[in-house]
Amino acid sequence: METTLITNDMMIVFGLLGLAIFLFVSDLLRVDLVGLLMMVLLPLTGVLSAEQAIAGLSSNAVVSIIAVMIIGAGLNKTGVMNVVAGQIIKIVGRSEKRIMTVISLTVAVISSFMQNIGAAALFMPATVRISRQLNFSVSRILMPMGFCAIIGGCLTLVGSSPLIMLNDLMEGWWQNNPEAVANQPFSPFGLLAVTPIGVALLIAAIVYFALFGRKLLPVDVCSLDDDGCMDRRLQEIYGAEVGHSYELAVPAFFPSLTLGELEIRPRYHITVIGIAKNEGYQKEFAPTRESLVEAGDSLWVMSSEKNIQRMVDEQGWLIKPEHEVFANENYPDESGVVEGVIIPHSNLSQHTMEELQFRRLFQINPLAIVRGDKIIMDEINVTELQQGDTILMQGRWSQFRLLTAQMDIALIDEVGGEELKPERTRCAVFCLILALTLALVFHVKLSIALLTGALGMILMRIIPADRAYEAVDWRTVFLLSGLIPLGTAFETTGTAAYIAQKVLGAVGDPSPLLLMLVISLLTSFFSLVASNVGATVLMIPLAMNMASSIGTDPLIAALVVAVSASNTFILPTHQVNALIMRPGGYRTKDYMRAGLGMTVLYTGVLMLCLKFMFSI
């Protein structure tokens, strides 16, 4: 093996790699700005040409991510993901661990026959919806899903680029080294040869997050900048008096009474925003004083915890641990809280909400009236409204759109959610199937296949072009676009080959299992800082040579390289990790905390599989 000497370009690449890792760990710059910094410094230092430095913007991975984000937005627009989320909750229940397990396993299986970035991106909207709907932290679900999407590529020989390339690279080495293989014919691996290893890795990942996920992943259910987090926003603006939303159960012994007879608002400062009867099959939103509360009903209410607790103690009702009957309506894309100001000459001015039949007509719940420095909570239905009053209201987004169209009121906050187009569901599903068919059946390049589906979403008017651009997370795009040329520099300058030679040379004459461990760790490092494809092309010949020199099976060494190329969890450099970073609210240290244990577990399970399945 020819010795590689260190060059000036290698030293620059080492320096830039160290700078990138330092910035990732220290959070001094946003991750997308780190990517852009690498894109600028590589050509300025002369390591790469300008064309090579910006090539990441047109790479297959980046274009694929842009396309799947647009496809995901189109599926969301038609309500397809609502159906998927609903079915998962219906089948699995409301347990966080069960939902995490089912979603992760599903995405892993899909990743076994298509690109893992596509599987993760297509399932991400449903995952976010389920997490918010059940009041889980989305960070508890997205990282396990992402890690399992990466591992899912190891379930079959067509699940990831390194495994797709494996047989071809092995055959090329076999033909060029007839003496090392004693002129034996080459026997390629079958489609499911790697499946036992992949299944073991997948089970280990699920168990890892089920046991340690709460300690490893961020704990905040919602952040202050999360527009969908209604309860936190209410606390920040109106304090504890307006409070949170709860779902209550009326016990069987309770007599039938109207809301007016119960006097819930004047006695407890609680707003009833929904009543469900017949186990949720009949729902009334924005109920009035005449609305009847009966045994077996479920009530959707808003108030402070102390007021709710006082009422249920006196009435004998039960507070449900989470929203059940009103789970869909409580989802931030379906309903929320906004402020509206009564403008001059408004048709609301000098009238009460009771006179205008405000609740009955618009199915919107007034929570409070703000007049100057005063917050009016009592008798708001019979309070005469004045110009300049601010009304805090809760309701479904579709009803707020109806309100603004018919009443002279200016909403301070933007109306959330999107008007769904369920009539375009078939068109959206067709675009998705078309993209997958082009990629899997006709072997069209993944980026082109997915762009075809994304363009179909726009041309069929499922989403407008402007909405398609808004759906793209440009932070993820620029992060990957900047890291791809850094990986290119790592390979083209000989830096990767230099490290590989030094490490393998330092090992000396190892045992077969120790050699496999070194090969696995080295491949993982190259996949983390460069690319899994580049690491595979570089390491397979080196690993097969080393295995042959100590008398062990070179094919197993090559398989270790291909599987270890997916061991990329510590940094958000893998395209799946970059994709879930912003929706999950992750920082680099979150990947390091959860990814370090996953990397060690992945390597350990792989070594055990080699020992017991292949007798290494």
Question: What CATH number did the domain enclosing 362 receive?
Answer: 3.30.70.1450
**Structure confidence at residue 240 (pLDDT):** 58
**Structure confidence at residue 223 (pLDDT):** 41
- Long-range CB pairs of 372-375 (<8 Å, 24+ gap) are 375/238, 375/241
**Structure confidence at residue 238 (pLDDT):** 59
237 and 197 co-located in one domain = no
pLDDT digits (tens, 9 = 90+) for 424-476: 999 999 998 998 889 878 888 878 988 999 999 999 999 999 989 988 888 87
Mean pLDDT of the region 252-278: 91
Alpha-carbon distance values, 486 to 335, 351, 493, 565 (Å): 44, 66, 11, 17
Mean pLDDT of the region 559-577: 91
Tokens of 155: 């379930």
Closest CA to 149 of 113, 104, 192, 191: 104
274 and 195 co-located in one domain = no
202 and 253 co-located in one domain = no
Establish if 436 belongs to a structural domain.
Answer: no
DSSP letter at 278 equals G
pLDDT band at 208 (very low <50, low <70, confident <90, very high): very high
- C-alpha–C-alpha distance, residues 375 and 541, integer Å: 74
Q: Which range has the top average pLDDT, 196-210, 342-356, 367-381, 582-596? A: 196-210
Of 184 and 8, the structure prediction assigns the larger pLDDT to 8
Q: Which range has the top average pLDDT, 243-247, 372-376, 605-609? A: 605-609
Mean pLDDT of the region 388-411: 86
Mean model confidence pLDDT for the chain: 85
**Structure confidence at residue 228 (pLDDT):** 41
Mean pLDDT of the region 325-347: 82
Q: Give the end of a domain, one of 294, 319, 344.
A: 319
pLDDT band at 219 (very low <50, low <70, confident <90, very high): low
**Structure confidence at residue 432 (pLDDT):** 87
With a cut of 80, say whether residue 160 has pLDDT above it.
yes
Partners of 391 in the β-ladder: 340, 369
Based on the structure, what is the number of domains in the chain? Answer: 3
User: Of 36-40, 58-62, 272-276, 447-451, which range is least confident?
Assistant: 58-62
pLDDT digits (tens, 9 = 90+) for 494-533: 887 788 778 777 877 789 999 999 999 999 998 888 778 7
127 and 253 co-located in one domain = no
Establish if 466 belongs to a structural domain.
Answer: no
Tokens of 530: 């460069």
Establish if 445 belongs to a structural domain.
Answer: no
With a cut of 60, say whether residue 232 has pLDDT above it.
no
252 and 147 co-located in one domain = no
| Percent of the chain's residues with pLDDT above 90 | 34
pLDDT band at 364 (very low <50, low <70, confident <90, very high): very high
Establish if 2 belongs to a structural domain.
Answer: no
Q: Give the end of a domain, one of 358, 386, 411.
A: 411
With a cut of 50, say whether residue 337 has pLDDT above it.
yes
Establish if 1 belongs to a structural domain.
Answer: no
Q: What are φ and ψ of residue 371, in 5° steps?
A: -125, 105
Establish if 329 belongs to a structural domain.
Answer: no
- Long-range CB pairs of 94-102 (<8 Å, 24+ gap) are 94/134, 94/322, 94/324, 96/134, 96/136, 96/140, 96/141, 97/210, 97/213, 99/130, 99/134, 99/136, 99/141, 100/140, 100/141, 100/144, 100/145, 100/209, 100/210, 100/213, 101/206, 101/210
With a cut of 80, say whether residue 37 has pLDDT above it.
yes
User: Of 160-164, 171-175, 233-237, 278-282, which range is least confident?
Assistant: 233-237
pLDDT digits (tens, 9 = 90+) for 53-99: 998 888 877 887 788 788 888 887 887 766 777 777 778 877 888 99
Structural domain range at position 608: 8-220+474-613
559 and 531 co-located in one domain = yes
Beta-carbon contacts of 179 under 8 Å, excluding residues fewer than 6 positions away, are none
For the entire predicted model, the pTM comes to 0.69
| Percent of the chain's residues with pLDDT above 70 | 94
**Structure confidence at residue 574 (pLDDT):** 85
Helices (H) and strands (E) in the chain, counts: 26, 12
Q: Which range has the top average pLDDT, 107-111, 175-179, 378-382? A: 107-111
130 and 50 co-located in one domain = yes
With a cut of 90, say whether residue 269 has pLDDT above it.
no
